[in-house]
Amino acid sequence: MKRPYETVVIYDATLPDEAIAAEHGKLEEFFRKNAEFEQTVVMGKKYFAYPIGKKKTGVYYLYLYRGEGDLAGMVEKQLKLNESVIRHLSVARTVSARPAAAAPAQQAVEGERA
Amino acid sequence: MYKRSRMRKVCWFDQNSIEPDYKDQRMMESFVTERGKIVPRRLSGTCAKHQKRLAVAVKRARYLALVPFVAENLK
């Protein structure tokens, strides 16, 4: 039975935009291939609440998809091997989850904490 | 004897009919103290069901660095 899942991926913000876009494209392709891909929500560039490996900012992406139970392991493997991914979290999606809440306009990162 | 009248606290999640969401940074920050601790339900008025879900959501948000683990890392 296919169940709804969501994965939040934090890409390294020090990488150029093209590199992040390429990595995002690869991951989206992986989801299209191995799962019933629904949508991507770009949560934007955000400041971390605490530094992760001397890094202070990251680019957050949310992927929504449906898949079988063994998909979680595959996603985990795919993301662990990726060096441009700082952190990731995959969870089973609840019915009430609102993808819209994940996408506030967080583009003003530079202005907020200059 | 002086009787204190108290307003009955209402669960914010029930009132607005939404669920705790770890991706919603503003929501998570509003249920965390300055020290980075989860606000207890006796203060926030959150119902037991939503407090439980909120605790899970805050812990997920902490892992994703949306909310700090401890006070010294506060913004």
CA distance B22 to A7: 12
A111: in domain = no
pLDDT digits (tens, 9 = 90+) for A31-76: 999 999 999 999 999 999 999 999 999 999 999 999 988 888 889 9
CA distance A106 to B8: 36
pLDDT digits (tens, 9 = 90+) for A82-100: 899 999 999 998 765 555 5
pLDDT at B12 over 50: yes
Q: What is the largest CA-CA distance in chain A?
A: 48
First to last CA, chain B: 46
The partner residue sitting opposite A89, judged by closest CB among B24, B64, B74, is: B64
Please report which confidence band the pLDDT of residue B1 belongs to, taking 50, 70 and 90 as the band edges: low
**Cβ-proximal residues to A59 (8 Å cutoff; 6+ apart), any chain:** A10, A11, A12, A13, A20, A44, A45, A46
pLDDT score at A106 = 46
pLDDT score at A72 = 86
A85 lies within 8 A of chain B by CB: no
> Which CATH number belongs to the domain containing residue B60 in this structure?
4.10.640.10
A108: in domain = no
pLDDT score at B54 = 96
CA distance B73 to A33: 40
B1: in domain = no
The partner residue sitting opposite A43, judged by closest CB among B23, B63, B69, is: B23
> Which CATH number belongs to the domain containing residue A59 in this structure?
3.30.70.60
Tell me the residue range of the domain where A12 lies. Answer: 3-95
pLDDT digits (tens, 9 = 90+) for B22-63: 999 999 999 999 899 999 999 999 999 999 999 999 999 999
Tell how far CA A25 is from the center of its chain. Answer: 12
CA distance A29 to A20: 14
B27: in domain = yes
The partner residue sitting opposite B19, judged by closest CB among A43, A58, A96, is: A96
Please report which confidence band the pLDDT of residue B6 belongs to, taking 50, 70 and 90 as the band edges: confident
pLDDT score at A96 = 54
A105: in domain = no
**Cβ-proximal residues to B69 (8 Å cutoff; 6+ apart), any chain:** A49, A50, B36, B62
pLDDT at A8 over 60: yes
Tell me the residue range of the domain where B59 lies. Answer: 12-73
Contact assignment for A62 to B23 by CB distance below 8 Å: yes
Contact assignment for A49 to B60 by CB distance below 8 Å: no
pLDDT score at A114 = 35
Mean pLDDT of chain A: 85
A44: in domain = yes
pLDDT score at A103 = 56
Q: Which residues of A touch B16 (CB under 8 A)?
A: none
Residue B25 near residue B66 (C-beta atoms within 8 A): yes
pLDDT score at A105 = 46
What 8-state DSSP symbol labels residue A35?
A: S
B39: in domain = yes
CA distance B63 to A62: 15
A104: in domain = no
B4: in domain = no
pLDDT score at A25 = 93
A102: in domain = no
CA distance A56 to A110: 12
Tell how far CA B54 is from the center of its chain. Answer: 6
Contact assignment for B64 to A97 by CB distance below 8 Å: no
Q: How many domains does chain A have?
A: 1
Instruction: Suggest the residue from B16, B18, B19, B23 to mutate for an interface test with chain A (most A CBs closer than 10 A).
Output: B23
A107: in domain = no
